[in-house]
Amino acid sequence: MNNALSVEFIQQASDVIKVLGHPQRLKIIEYLEKEEKSVSQIQEHLSVSQPLASQYLRHMHSRGIVKYRQEGTTYFYSIASEFIHKILDCVSECQQKVESGEWELAMFGTE
């Protein structure tokens, strides 16, 4: 890496990674990768209650990870920035390398 990460960027990236550190929130981002989805579609995809799906979405919206538009009483969510798409790309690439045996997945705290 040629450029040192600034303290400000490290803090901002860390905040985003913390929010995406929950498996259900990461699943939501993956589900939204191609197109926007309604809260009910997200809820069904995750097999969780509507209030829980809405809680995940509100939390991610408050951190600028997702955005929404309203059509009548229906809210449609989508990924808010290319930064989030890039994080998802990195996670996907890492999975491919682990599954191919090129990389070993470090299992922290399993000793």
Q: How far apart are CA 107 and CA 89, in angstroms?
A: 21
Q: pTM higher than 0.75 for the full model?
A: yes
Q: What is the pLDDT of residue 109?
A: 55
- Domain containing residue 12: 7-80
Residue 104 lies in a domain: no
Residue 19 lies in a domain: yes
Q: Domain with 29 in it: what CATH number?
A: 1.10.10.10
Q: Is residue 76 within a helix (H) or strand (E), and if so which, with residue range? A: strand 74-79
Residue 99 lies in a domain: no
Counting the structural domains of the chain, the total is 1
Residue 51 lies in a domain: yes
Over residues 50-102, the pLDDT tens digits come to: 999 999 999 999 999 999 999 999 999 999 999 999 999 999 999 999 999 99
Residue 97 lies in a domain: no
Residue 40 lies in a domain: yes
Residue 96 lies in a domain: no
Q: Which pair of structure tokens corresponds to residue 86? A: 């890039």
